[in-house]
Amino acid sequence: MQITGAQLIIECLIEQGVDRVFGYPGGQVIPLYDALYMNRDRIKHILTAHEQGASHAADGYARSSGKVGVCIATSGPGATNLVTGLATAYMDSSPVVAITGNVPVTLLGRDSFQEVDITGVTMPITKHNYIVKDKNELAATLREAFKIAKEGRPGPVLVDIPKNIQQDLIEYERVEIEPVKRSTSRLRDDDIEKAINLISLSERPMCYIGGGVIRSDASAELVEFIDRIDAPVCSSLMALGAVPSFNPRFTGMVGMHGTKVSNLMVNSCDLLIVIGARFSDRVISKGSTFATQARILQLDIDPAEFDKNIISDSHVVGDIKEILTILNSRLEKREHKDWMDRVQDAKRRFPMKVTLESKRPREILKALDDVLSTEKDAFVATEVGQHQMWAAQYLKHNKPRHFLTSGGLGTMGFGTGAAIGAQIANPEARVVNVAGDGSFRMNCNELATIARYKLPVVILVFNNHCLGMVRQWQNLFFQKHYSETTLDTPLDWVMLANAYGVKGMRLKADDDAEAILKSAFELNEGVVVDCEIPIDDKVLPMVAPGASINDMMGFIDNEGN
């Protein structure tokens, strides 16, 4: 059967089970958008306000559903507007396929109108990318792109398709897509035995988990593992929800804005088992003082992460779910009563209590937790900054894939797009974006998308009229030189929301947060809540840059020491 390249793209997407795509049309993808129009009963297209919003929405769709997110953009500026979203997905291992148009093959390399070498631009921030110059390679390329995005360590893949390839007639035959198998090819029994030996010899084991646990859907296996070896567990930002917050073994985040308990236990354990985590600088801080009493056992799907930032004593390469399943089947149940008593004592002594400098944000997030507790299912996305860390610290995270945040790249502007993607992927769930006024300035145009599709996304804008995290650093480390961080433009978020056709509400400093948030959710429509907070509220505790994670400022000691 011969069909156009544009129609073939649609058929290949349907082969992959894709029924939602995000994008923005332009000259070099008009044939593809014509095919989308003709197949609108088979694939729903979500028109975002900006291509960056489409890339973040595809990412949020992927993170919340476990499926591949798809975004579409035209050539030139349309394609380059995807770059930040692709880099965000790459740093956080999120499976996204980006399809871009380009000028016809005969015009490539001639500085044609809206031509850019997008494969060259995105080479460092994608798992792989392609430009299709032979129409007979289009179907195979698209199928391979999805396979690469999903297999092993997930990540974004870009496929650049010149306009003439979209218009040409191409022979098409449907293919049944086989599920991507979990990565076990490098999993060696010798490595498993070394891991079992290290765990068996340990008296003070500690687990440090990262986003790889969630990406491999290994939360159940992880909980069984920590129970089996009788160990506490701390988390990177990306792994929040992999172990429920209420689990007594969970000590909270580790690192710069982690808990005192997590940081203390990492530096007190005799074995640190690192599971799907990459030793980010925001976790280890001063590497020479990190986990100095411990042997390091690292479990990861990507061998490039071994010995990159911290040297490990042993490692196992493979899919986290598969590794933990094997370990759980072979390990004898252990007991470390003295060690676990020590952990519980530290949790009592150093609780994650609010300081005076974060009281109001904590009150708002506590109210949000209470309101969401009545929902059957709820997802929280964030932008990047103080509000992001407060949400990580104070919200309860009890399910994997329900806390969507930009970790590796730290992308201001991520949250609203991600919330849109999560709402599209989970139409019956409640979706909240916790934003700061600085970050929300970067993507508030996506309110048009929320209004257009009548998405019941609730956005909390933590409004301190400044770039809060940068101001916090200026306050603590730069002699209070508040250079260009005060946002004193007379911007009214309620009026702006109303202008887009979205409900705007105010939450003033003395208002009852729970009452107002409850009324916002009861509307069951898109809502922006302008949440007034003090300008100098801080994210605490905190490790100063370059300091040991033992040296935290701003924590509360119940014994007053």
Q: For residue 296, which of 220, 285, 286, 284 has the smallest C-alpha distance?
A: 284
Transcribe 451-503 into DSSP letters.
HHTT---EEEEEE-SB-HHHHHHHHHHSTT--TT-B--S---HHHHHHHTT-E
Tell me whether strands 403-404 and 430-436 are parallel, antiparallel or unpaired.
Answer: unpaired
Q: Are 533 and 360 in contact (CB under 8 A)?
A: yes
As a whole number of angstroms, the distance between CA 368 and CA 427 comes to: 20
Among the listed residues 461, 535, 453, 464, the one whose alpha carbon sits nearest the alpha carbon of residue 497: 461
CA 459 to chain centre: 17
Burial class (CB in 10 A: 0-12, 13-18, 19+), 351: middle
CA angle, 218 then 70 then 102, to 5° = 140
The sign of the dihedral angle between the CA atoms of 275, 281, 287, 292 is negative
Both structure tokens of 124: 């460092």
Beta-carbon count within 10 A of 224 CB: 15
H or E element: which one contains 302? none
Tell me how far apart the alpha carbons of residues 160 and 118 are, in angstroms, rounded to a whole number: 7
Q: How far, in Å, CA of 450 to CA of 435, rounded?
A: 15
69-93 as b/e, with b when 16 or more CB fall inside 10 Å? bbbbbbbbebbbbbbbbbbbbbbbb
Reduce the DSSP state of residue 288 to 3 states and report it.
helix
Q: How would you classify residue 186: left for phi > 0, otherwise alpha for psi between -120 and 50, otherwise beta?
A: alpha
Residue 111, class by beta-carbon neighbours within 10 Å (0-12 exposed, 13-18 middle, 19+ buried)?
A: exposed
- Report the DSSP beta bridge partners of residue 235: 209, 253
Positions annotated as catalytic residues are 51, 113-114, 163, 469
Is 98 in contact with 156 (CB distance < 8 Å)? yes
Label residue 176 left, alpha or beta by phi (over 0 means left) and psi (-120 to 50 means alpha).
beta
CB 20 within 8 A of CB 425: yes
Helices and strands per DSSP (H, E), number in the chain: 23, 22
